Amino acid sequence: MLHQENIPSTPGKSKPEKSHNYGFRSKVLTFWSFLFLLVFLFFFLISPSPYTPSRRNLKTPSSPSYGGPQWEKQVRKSARPHSLSGLTVLVTGAAGFVGSHVSVSLKKRGDGVVGLDNFNSYYETSLKWARKGLLERAGVYVIDGDINDKSLLDKIFDVVVFTHVMHLAAQAGVRYAMLNPNSYVQSNIAGFVNLLETCKSSDPQPAIVWASSSSVYGINTKVPFSEEDRTDQPASLYAATKKAGEEIAHTYNHIYGLSITGLRFFTVYGPWGRPDMAYFFFTRDILRGKTISIYESPDKGSVARDFTYIDDIVKGCLAALDTAQKSTGSGGKKRGPAQFRIFNLGNTSPVPVSRLVSLLEKILKVKAKKKVSPLPRNGDVEFTHANISLAQRELGYKPNTDLETGLKKFVKWYLSYYSDSRKNNF
Ligand SMILES: O=C(O)[C@H]1O[C@H](OP(=O)(O)OP(=O)(O)OC[C@H]2O[C@@H](n3ccc(=O)[nH]c3=O)[C@H](O)[C@@H]2O)[C@H](O)[C@@H](O)[C@@H]1O
């Protein structure tokens, strides 16, 4: 029946009805298309441009957010040292914890500094942008870009002749490696190789100082850890990528004559620190009345770290830059053997995590809600302890901040930063 009703009995009869239906339908269609277009235009107009902060993390390494005479002028100005003997340093990871401190210290003593950072969202990006603000006030321009972006690196090296590269950009954190293993490979291996490729091809080649990690000692039990100890038993993918970085660095030193110094940092802490680290989120959780987990080793012993204060680390980084010899190659060719060094930068006095917590309770004047839990199998090692005699001898490195003094400075910064952040709506 239905079928029959839809078939016109005679062409003449059905024609006007059909044309009426089509006319009505096409009006409806035009109306909805117009409405759709309006809605589309509205969202297009109100959506932020690719370079506004809310889209920062969607940026791909190839986004051309750099270049142009104004950009080059800013980069050159930032790179200019204030004395004849001043260094010209590219600091990667400049908006990071160690990177921001090192950049400001270099600039303060008259070196030229250009920062590079991809502002990724591994932890709160507002903290990275706040550090960038700090750097800008100190006269350091930070380029928003990725070490995996080869054309960006080439461009930066075209604009500035760097005497040194302080490579601190990395995917940090031991435990996160189980959640996002690829980010470690991407930053700590692929990104590092990309940077070394640019450095080796440049003429003159810069000397490179970069951040390795105490985690390369892995499940080593011989204490204190010294640079000659074995580092072939990493306990986490993070450690494995840092160890790979050390081997890769050796290759570039060997083949291309790049002067390379690796620094094994031991649990660096302090103001402007990283919110993913235990001392930082313990402080936050204690203040919020949240329970914190204190890990213990399988034999019920306390897990311990050779916590090292940021100012001591910065002195070690600057000393490494100052004592770095020139690379011997140029334009991708080795002209002679070049310096290759690895140093521990620790504090030489391991502190159990339980002691870290009691110090925080004392400084914050708040009792922590705590539970003791077994060290999870997530890459954490039971303890770290640096032998720093090599760094002492070669770099004049001498840490002089004990954990209590350093934590007081951290807590002072933390309270002021987060009360200001709330005011400024961070
Ligand atoms: O020294 C290093 O090379 C490394 O130092 C830190 O790694 P880690 O020493 O594990 O620092 P935290 O994550 O802050 O942990 C400190 C201690 O607190 C313990 N912890 C952590 C988290 C937690 O909930 N409870 C707890 O007891 C850990 O097992 C560890 O013993 C950094 O996160 C790494 O990026 C760096 O390379």
Q: Per-residue pLDDT tens for 337-367? A: 999 999 999 999 999 999 999 999 999 999 9
30 pLDDT tier (thresholds 50, 70, 90):
low
Averaged pLDDT score across all residues of the chain: 88
CA 211 to chain CA centroid, Å, is 11
- What number is the average pLDDT over the span 295-308? 93
pLDDT at position 64:
52
Predicted confidence (pLDDT) at residue 426 exceeds the cutoff of 70: no
Chain segment 260-276, per-residue pLDDT in tens: 999 999 999 999 999 99
pLDDT tier, 18 (very low <50, low <70, confident <90, very high otherwise): very low
Q: Which of 309, 351, 353, 381 to mutate to test the pocket of ligand 1 (most atoms within 8 A of CB)?
A: 353
Which of the pair, 293 or 49, is modelled with greater confidence?
293
Q: Of all protein residues, whose CA lies closest to atom 7 belonging to ligand 1?
A: 267
Per-residue HEC secondary structure of 86-145 comes to CCEEEEECCCCHHHHHHHHHHHHCCCEEEEEECCCCCCCHHHHHHHHHHHHHHCCEEEEC
- Cβ atoms of 111 and 80 within 8 Å: the answer is no
**3 state DSSP class of 85:** coil
Structure confidence at residue 36 as a pLDDT band (50, 70, 90): low
Cα(306) to ligand 1 centroid in Å equals 10
d(CA 347, CA 392): 11
List ligand 1's pocket residues with C-beta within 6 A: 172-174, 213-215, 265-267, 277-278, 293-295, 303, 305, 353, 380, 384
> Phi/psi class of residue 232: alpha, beta or left (left: φ > 0; alpha: ψ in -120 to 50)?
alpha
The backbone region for 180, taken as left when phi is positive above 0, alpha when psi lies in -120 to 50, beta otherwise, is beta
pLDDT digits (tens, 9 = 90+) for 83-127: 999 999 999 999 999 999 999 999 999 999 999 999 999 999 999
Q: For residue range 139-191, what is the model confidence (pLDDT) as tens digits?
A: 999 999 999 999 999 999 999 999 999 999 999 999 999 999 999 999 999 99
Give me the phi and psi of 293, to 5 degrees please: -100, 125
pLDDT in tens, 59-90: 444 455 789 999 999 999 999 999 999 999 99
Q: Are 302 and 352 in contact (CB under 8 A)?
A: yes
Number of CB atoms found within 10 A of residue 8's CB: 12
Instruction: Assess whether 238 carries a catalytic annotation.
Output: yes
**What pLDDT does 28 receive?**
58
Q: Which of 178, 297, 305 to mutate to test the pocket of ligand 1 (most atoms within 8 A of CB)?
A: 305
pLDDT of residue 34: 60
pLDDT, residue 31, reads: 63
The rounded percent of the chain whose pLDDT value lies above 90 is 80
Is the predicted pLDDT of residue 283 greater than 90, yes or no? yes
**What confidence category does residue 2 fall into, taking pLDDT thresholds of 50, 70 and 90?**
very low
Task: Let me know: does 150 contact 194? Beta carbons within 8 Å.
Answer: yes
Per-residue pLDDT, 96: 98
Kindly tell me if the per-residue pLDDT of 7 is higher than 70: no
Residue 301's pLDDT band (cuts 50, 70, 90): confident
> Which residue is catalytic, options 123, 238, 252, 414?
238
> Sorting pLDDT into bands at 50, 70 and 90, what band is 19?
very low
Quote the radius of gyration of the chain (alpha carbons, Å): 28
ipTM value > 0.90:
yes
pLDDT score of 63: 53
pLDDT attached to residue 302: 86
